[in-house]
Amino acid sequence: MKRLERAGLALLHLTDPETAHGLSIRALQAGLAPAPGPVTSPRLATTLAGLELPNPVGLAAGYDKNATAIAPLSRAGFGFIEVGAATPRPQPGNPKPRLFRLTQDRAAINRFGFNNQGADAIATRLAQRQRGPVQGYVPVGLNLGANKDSPDRAADFAAVLATCGPHADFATVNVSSPNTEKLRDLQGRAALTALLRGVMDTRARLATPIPIFLKIAPDLTDDDLKDIAAAAFETGIAGIIATNTTLARDGLSSPHRSEAGGLSGAPLFDKSTRILARLSALTQGTLPLIGVGGIETAEQAYAKIRAGASAVQFYTAMVYHGLSLAADIATGLDRLLARDGFSSIDEATGTARADWL
């Protein structure tokens, strides 16, 4: 299977990145992908903000934007998956080309701009999936976005939650995408607190309230992080996802390194892990954190956990290593926990935080 996967990746890399992305989704829908089911063990099984995860290795938002491949992704080895981002109304996103491979750097730059089919279509697909508790079930969350031309972007997040929340296991407020003008301005304390209150008010009206996470940018100062932590505690959200893509371009060598948009992949690992560790220190380990950014190996996933993460997510690494990476990372993480004498993810979380401060 690995040989076939490598051949498939090679073929995909002969096409432009956005076309390859679409073809990979179609391959999943056709059953042409690894399907080992959720990887789990007594060490890997964990609880995140009330969500029962078979393992702490998740798929980050942005891959399955329109929730069209939930079933095959749920069988790929992940412990949880996140789809979207969804906006209240469908929107085409930014002009193409808007996705670039940085092969020499094992990275990507995107400026998609929340292209998606809208909350109603995505809610319909979420509602059609089989939900737990059943054997092999993994939680599915939705990344919440705002329409580019919205007169009230803060209200958009609550609107998407109202539409899709009854069919999701968790939701993420995404105010950290660099590809919608002025969206990151909502990370300021006053604006963020007001936005999160609106989302949490909507959550309270759901028949079954779900955990709400906040996804933050890596390009933040220490004061910014203090404000975000304060807003998180004040509004009672379930946790923070650290981090989204970066605007920095340090140390890149690929031809597309100067393209506008958010940089993801290997170059983001150190930067995002430092933000994660600092946030863990600021919150004294009392707020669940999901570590994202640059993960390609089980060792890197383990480093995020030891820096303060209760779970991790990745996406860009699949461009270079394939979907089987999900099971590989989960299996490798189990070995690393056993090697170091940890009986659970919780025991390992934050044990090397000081190394990143």
Binding site members for FMN: 61-65, 85, 143, 174, 215, 243, 265, 294, 315-316
Q: Which residues are annotated as a binding site?
A: 61-65, 85, 110-114, 143, 174, 179, 215, 243-245, 265, 294, 315-316
Chain-centroid distance, C-alpha 311: 11
What would the 3-class secondary structure string for 197-251 be? HHHHHHHHCCCCCCCEEEEECCCCCHHHHHHHHHHHHHHCCCEEEECCCECCCCC
Q: Which residue has the tokens 């999900």?
A: 326
Q: Which of 93, 16, 23, 45 is nearest to 256 (CA)?
A: 16
308: enclosing H helix or E strand: none
Chain-centroid distance, C-alpha 40: 20
Q: Computed from CA positions of residues 76, 79, 84, 86, in that sequence, does the dihedral angle turn out positive or negative?
A: positive
Of the candidates 24, 74, 176, 177, the residue annotated as catalytic is 177
Q: Which residues are annotated as a binding site for substrate?
A: 65, 110-114, 174, 179, 244-245
Under 8 Å CB-to-CB from 256, ≥6 apart: which residues?
A: 100, 101, 102, 109
Whether 264 is a known active-site residue: answer no
Catalytically active residues are 177
